[in-house]
Amino acid sequence: QFHPTGSLLWMAPEVIQQKDPNCYSTSSDVYAYGCVLFEMFSGKLPHAPINNKEQIMWLVGKGRLKIKVDECRDDTPEAIIDLMRQCTDYNRELRPDFAPEIDDVLSKFEFIFPRVQRSQSEPCLIR
């Protein structure tokens, strides 16, 4: 029986295939992270505009559907584009580790992402 757990658009090929009982791993998390990076820098969902879930599952599971990094904003740093490609590689053995590889790439861009300041106001209380 095929019962993958997770959100299809961010699901790694090995999770879709369910051939390995240990398909959920940090490598599958890295794949999902690459999909999130794609969303952030393209403003699009992974694999859009395909809406057919079975088609997405088959294509991703066979390695025939990849994140379209060319749809990212023009000002996306090339190192981020490369990181997306590496994170969403079909072969999970070729994906980078979260630390230190991914952290090393992202730390170079801290100046791009403004630091979010915590609000000093109190949250609205429902009474």
Q: State the Cα–Cα distance between residues 82 and 121, nearest whole angstrom.
A: 40
Question: Tokens representing 80?
Answer: 């981020």
Q: State the Cα–Cα distance between residues 80 and 71, nearest whole angstrom.
A: 13
Give residue 83's pLDDT.
Answer: 94
Alpha helices in 43-77 (DSSP H): 53-61
CB 4 within 8 A of CB 15: yes
CA 100 distance to own-chain centroid: 17
Q: pTM of the predicted model, to two decimals?
A: 0.80
Give phi and psi for 69, each to the nearest 5: -65, -20
Q: pLDDT tens digit string along 55-80?
A: 999 999 999 999 999 999 999 999 99
Binned at pLDDT 50, 70 and 90, residue 98 comes out as: confident
- Enter the CATH code of domain 8-99: 1.10.510.10
Of residues 3 and 20, more confidence is placed in 20
3-state DSSP assignment of residue 106:
helix
